Amino acid sequence: MKEEVRTPGAPAPVGPYSQAVRVGDMLFVSGQIPADPATGAIVGTTIQEQTERVMENVRAVLEAAGYSMGDVVMALAYLRDLNDFAGFNEVYSRYFSPPYPARVTVQVARLPKDVLVEVAVIAVRAR
C-alpha cells in the first residue's frame, strides 16, 4: 500500500508528484531542488549553497516520514555541470556517515528552474 508523505518543511510539489511515497519500510523521496520551503525561491548561486539547501529539503522530507539521513540507502544526484562534483561532494558528505548510501551522479542538460543540483533518495527504515 502506498502512502503519500507531505511536509511544509520542504518545497511543495510543482507538478503531479508527491514529496515522498512510503511503501512498507521503504521511502522514495522525490528529487529536491534548492528551493526555500516557505517562499519557493531558489537559494544560493554556488554549488555548495545550493547543495546545502537541497540536502536540508531531503532531510525535512525524511524526518516528516519518521526517517533519518542514516536510513538512506540510495541517492540519485543530478548536476548541471560535473565540474561541480568536488563542491557537491564537499557538502553532501557532511550529511552522511559510513556506510554511505549507494549513489548515482550524472550531469544533465537542464534542471527545473535552471538550478545547479537536484537530489532524490531512497530510504529503508532500519530494524
- Domains of the chain, first to last: 2-124 (3.30.1330.40)
Question: Do 23 and 74 contact (CB within 8 A), yes or no?
Answer: no
Q: What is the overall mean pLDDT for the chain? A: 97
Q: What span, in angstroms and rounded, lies between the C-alpha atoms of 118 and 106? A: 10
pLDDT in tens, 43-85: 999 999 999 999 999 999 999 999 999 999 999 999 999 999 9
Residue 14's pLDDT band (boundaries 50, 70, 90)? confident
Average pLDDT over residues 81-91: 98
The pair phi, psi for residue 17, each rounded to 5°, is -150, 165
What pLDDT, on a 0 to 100 scale, did the predictor assign at position 127?
Answer: 61
The residue assigned the cell 537542464 is 110
Q: Is the pLDDT of residue 112 over 80?
A: yes
Full 3-state SS string of the chain? CEEEECCCCCCCCCCCCCCEEEECCEEEEEEECCECCCCCCECCCCHHHHHHHHHHHHHHHHHHCCCCHHHEEEEEEEECCHHHHHHHHHHHHHHCCCCCCEEEEEECCCCHHHCCEEEEEEEECCC
Average pLDDT over residues 35-47: 97
